[in-house]
Structure 1
């Protein structure tokens, strides 16, 4: 069975770069727990391959359509060690049809108590605030080619709420037609 390093392309280096990016902006790594990392698949075949492989190292919390493409979240059997503490989950995103994007590890998300207080405490940090108005308010800090997002609720808790409210849009049964590995 492949290791997480083999599956995800050096998550430790990715996490070290996120840590350094925060420190370069004067942010401590102790703002809150990093509840998940996100990997964007290069194509549908890679999504299916990683979905199958990640099912051996974690339990699926949900798979659904978000932004017109499947996204699945796994809770690791053994949390991923990081400079931010143990990371319990990984989000795997299929590519959006017709869109060019960078594939591989893309972002980490940190849960903080209050987004407004975070902004006020670090006014010199160039947070992107466009996500504050969405259903799950967030701040984003670009650390090219990566980013760190800040939320007030963990992804696992958000998933529980979305399932309870019936908000998960199932992946159409024929979405991966002719794409099985």
Structure 2
């Protein structure tokens, strides 16, 4: 007998509660949910076993756009067959991140990313918001708003578009064949 298809909340936890917490966090800083579309949410796996299990399970809910090494650990992104309903509009993708070796992290749904027209304009329009600007100098500039234990990140390009660009440019770093054979958190 085939086991029934799990629902996404069985896999990720209560994503509605998570998205509501992000909405409340933005509102508490005077930010509307209409700044731009939320293009993805990120789930951080507790360990490599959970990452591998969730990678397999999430493949039932969407198409893999890419899996590669980012920040010295694997990250895979799925384009969902059915976007998540949210206060920010439909969320089309989910990112699954393996833990970074030796670094404590939040386990579970950790952040959502919103695409805005201009990061400079966002800062100008909301100067009182305590954005973390350390990511502005990276290859994909971002602003981050900490909403413990969660975060909202702001980008000017969707993750799906960034992935397509990185694939076209040959910039995706594949996960080493022996990566899962090593002891990791």
TM-score tier (shorter): over 0.9
Residue in structure 2 matched with residue 143 of structure 1 by the alignment: 147
Give the alignment's Cα RMSD to 1 decimal: 1.0
Gaps of 5+ in 1: none
Q: Is structure 2 residue 98 aligned with structure 1 residue 122? A: no
Q: Is structure 2 residue 65 aligned with structure 1 residue 61? A: yes
Quote how far apart the aligned CAs of 1:66 are.
Answer: 0.5
Q: Is structure 2 residue 66 aligned with structure 1 residue 73? A: no
Quote how far apart the aligned CAs of 1:177 are.
Answer: 2.4
Partner residue of 1:160 out of 158, 161, 164 = 164
* Deviation by residue 1:45-87 (Cα, 9 ceiling, x = unmatched): 0000100000000000000001110000000001010000000
* Deviation by residue 1:99-119 (Cα, 9 ceiling, x = unmatched): 221110000000000000000
Residue in structure 2 matched with residue 110 of structure 1 by the alignment: 114
Q: How far apart in 2 are the matches of 1:97 and 1:129? A: 25
- The count of residues paired between Structure 1 and Structure 2 equals 179
Q: Is structure 2 residue 37 aligned with structure 1 residue 42? A: no
User: Runs (4+) of structure 1 moved beyond 6 Å?
Assistant: none
* Deviation by residue 1:139-178 (Cα, 9 ceiling, x = unmatched): 0000000000000000000000000111100001121128
Q: How far apart in 2 are the matches of 1:68 and 1:36? A: 21
Gaps of 5+ in 2: none
Q: How far apart in 1 are the matches of 2:54 and 2:152? A: 22
Q: Is structure 2 residue 174 aligned with structure 1 residue 170? A: yes
